[in-house]
Amino acid sequence: MRRSFFALAVAAMPLVAAPASAPAQTTAAAPTLAIDKARIDAALAAMVESGRAAGVSALVWKDGREVYFGTAGMADRAAGKPMRRDTIAQIFSMTKPVTGVALMQLWEAGKVRLDDPLAKYLPEYAQMRVYAGKDAAGAPRYVPADRPITVRDIMRHTAGFAYGAGPTPAHDAFVAADPLALTNSLAEASRRIASVPLLFQPGTQWSYSAAVTVQAALVEKLAGEPFADYVRTHIFVPLKMTDTAWREPEAKFARLSAMYAMKDGKLVQQDAAETRKLNFQDNALTPGGFGLASTLDDYQRFARMLLNGGELDGVRILRPSTVRLMATDQLDPAVTERLWLPGKGAVGFGLDFAVRYAQPQTAEENRGAVGEFFWDGAASTLFWVDPANKLTAVFFAQTMPFDGTLHHDIRAAVYGADYKGPAGD
């Protein structure tokens, strides 16, 4: 039961064939974007009425001010609690950008280099093996890694790690190692990940993985203090993110949204005891890749900091150049195997963010502007930063498995169904 939420999160990851893509950044002016409150209200209401979510909420900032806040539906159907502004949601993989910011703070401090071998700091990664198919007798083959995993690899998902069950013996080994069990320390999680063969040679493919929990172990090693303590001191406290944590105080449990699982076409509310495991018990693991709970306002402060080039309300978290680096596509055009990433639109991947490099290519693609960077979570949460429109948006739902139609609809509501934004380079 300890791994139930993580198992759901992994199961939610869609498998989409990955065509080649061309990276680009742009500074072209965007067409004027007007926020239509009624359109967003209607979209949120439709999400609930269609049965895709029990409750949803959204918060949008543009040009330095709040331009939209709204909710629809229930945070807890059984208890009769509506979705509210201060509802606490489990954000799963929206934890990853927070971990990336923490590591890049230490990069700014000169404690790590992006192209250093990971094994320079975490020696367990010194002798990695790579799954190379099966021999004539059907036994798995393993070969040495062609080159070391780098710090950059673990920030752009090109290290070759697995992230749960899958079709190869390397996936089976990951499941057997159970690195993300909540009873593991970060150091133990990292050692277990290092014991598992890689799925591919480092740098050759993009595959969403446990790499961000390795980032957290690296932050802990470099900072010389527990990862959660470092993040609280250097990110959450300066940004006044008072409701964001891996371990929430018991008094806040009443504000935690229930979790809902789609089963046979209907949303089923999950048991409260199961829902509270990630955030309201004293787990050993504070994973870099998931586990945070937050509120709309808290995560919007994090997003606004990024939009402002690493600063908010006079507090600097990162340099502007560091934010630009994180929001720049890091994938070589030769990296054509990208799992389901192209399903998120015309995007590449930076350092812990997806990065849009071209206008929407089809009517069905999610709306957005070239140069935006974003990520989402297994329970269908989403945030994005849109420098071209000076806009940030945070969207909360608690629907599992991941439902990309919710993201399509909130983006269409914010931008308009026909929006394409500035052209890429």
The pTM of the full predicted model, rounded to 2 decimals, is: 0.92
Tokens read off for 245: 């944590």
Number of folded domains that form the chain: 2
Q: Are residues 169 and 272 in the same domain?
A: no
Q: Are residues 258 and 397 in the same domain?
A: yes
The answer to whether residues 199 and 211 touch, using CB atoms and an 8 Å cutoff, is no
Q: Is residue 421 part of a domain?
A: no
Tokens read off for 82: 């509506």
3-state secondary structure 174-231: HHHHCCCCCCCCHHHHHHHHHCCCECCCCCCCCCCCCHHHHHHHHHHHHHCCCHHHHH
Per-residue pLDDT tens, the chain, 425 aa: give them: 344 444 545 444 443 333 333 344 444 555 689 999 999 999 999 999 999 999 999 999 999 999 999 999 999 999 999 999 999 999 999 999 999 999 999 999 999 999 999 999 999 999 999 999 999 999 999 999 999 999 999 999 999 999 999 999 999 999 999 999 999 999 999 999 999 999 999 999 999 999 999 999 999 999 999 999 999 999 999 999 999 999 999 999 999 999 999 999 999 999 988 888 888 889 999 999 999 999 999 999 999 999 999 999 999 999 999 999 999 999 999 999 999 999 999 999 999 999 999 999 999 999 999 999 999 999 999 999 999 999 999 999 999 999 999 999 999 999 999 999 998 76
Residue 225 burial by Cβ neighbours in a 10 Å radius (0-12, 13-18, 19+):
exposed
Tokens read off for 187: 């150091």
Q: Is residue 100 part of a domain?
A: no
Q: Is residue 238 part of a domain?
A: no
Q: Are residues 176 and 43 in the same domain?
A: no
Q: Are residues 291 and 312 in the same domain?
A: yes
Q: Which residues constitute the domain of residue 134? A: 106-223
